[in-house]
Amino acid sequence: MSKLLSAICLIKETFDTYASREGDQATLTKGELTALLKKELLGDVSRTKAEFLGKLDQDGDGVVNYMEYVTFVASFCMMLQGMKC
């Protein structure tokens, strides 16, 4: 498997891992999103979790679906342009 395809699979697997913790496995609740951001990306997100949920939850249903999550990941990738990972 190519590195890019492996990365795409990892993005999906990460979503599935956190989405399966509470309620609907097709969405991330506020708690699941907080856990994902804390462990996978940002560290301490306590002061920003409501803000993150509000920005990621484009349809305003109170959860983050897979499309909203992928949009966030792609936006995060764009922010890293020009930076060495």
Q: Write out pLDDT tens, residues 23-70.
A: 789 999 888 988 888 888 766 656 555 666 677 888 889 889 999 999
Classify residue 84: in a domain, yes or no: no
| 29 found inside a domain | yes
| Domain presence at residue 85 | no
Q: Answer yes or no: is 72 within a domain.
A: yes
> In whole angstroms, what is the distance from residue 45 CA to residue 52 CA?
9
Whether 62 is covered by a domain: the verdict is yes
Number of compact structural domains in the chain: 1
Helices 49-56 and 66-79 pack at an angle, to 10 degrees, of 110
CATH code of the domain containing 41: 1.10.238.10
Domain range for 70 is 3-79
pLDDT at 43: 64
Q: Which of 61, 78, 63 is nearest to 30 (CA)?
A: 63
Q: Looking at the predicted structure, is the pLDDT value of residue 13 above 90?
A: yes
- Does 20 fall in a domain? yes
pTM of the predicted protein model: 0.79
Q: Give the pLDDT of residue 26.
A: 93
